[in-house]
Amino acid sequence: METTILGGGCFWCTESVFRAVRGVQAVTSGYAGGARPNPTYEQICSGATGHAEVIAIDFDHAVISFERILDIFFATHDPTTLNRQGNDMGTQYRSVIFYLDDTQKQKALAKIEHLKTEGVKAVTEISPAPEFYPAETYHQDYYAKNPEQGYCSFMIPPKLSKLKQYFADDMI
């Protein structure tokens, strides 16, 4: 098993995507990258904590590689917008990879370089993994519990459809 921590905007969206990926054992929505210990959602939304909305992904690297996790990550958000994903604005929505070891760091940097060769000017932050704080219980598996929620029903089905098209072998 391997763990990675990724932020690509709203954690409701990224969590729902990675729950549908073969080899992913667990996905936990949370907060990382800021100075305030044990932040709340309301504090995160203020933008004053420095934390990003992130997900911690536990995956079986015998089933799916870290590189493939990164491929899916970059296919599901816009890494070229600083502190913004769609209508969500603020540092809490930044694109970020928090690496847990030097191998993850090198692979993340290589992915950014590869994106540059494809003309993608990613502003994704790549930093050592800080303390991870799980989000409140009501945020966990949010889309599955709230499929009628307007934002989720607008954002998530198109992302899952796109992923199933391009990453069919990796999707459950």
* Domains of the chain by residue range: 2-170
CATH label, 2-170, candidates 2.70.98.40, 3.30.1060.10, 3.40.1360.10, 3.40.250.10: 3.30.1060.10
CB 158 within 8 A of CB 13: no
User: 10 catalytic, yes or no?
Assistant: yes
Question: Which residue among the candidates 10, 13, 45, 152 is catalytic per the annotation?
Answer: 10
Tens-digit pLDDT string for the chain (172 aa): 999 999 999 898 899 999 999 999 999 999 999 999 999 999 999 999 999 999 999 999 999 999 999 999 999 889 999 998 888 899 999 999 999 999 999 999 999 999 999 999 999 999 999 999 999 999 999 888 887 776 666 676 677 777 777 788 888 8
The pTM of this model reads 0.92
CB 139 within 8 A of CB 149: no
DSSP 74-130: HHSS-TTSTTEETTEESGGG-EEEEESSHHHHHHHHHHHHHHHHTT-----EEEE--
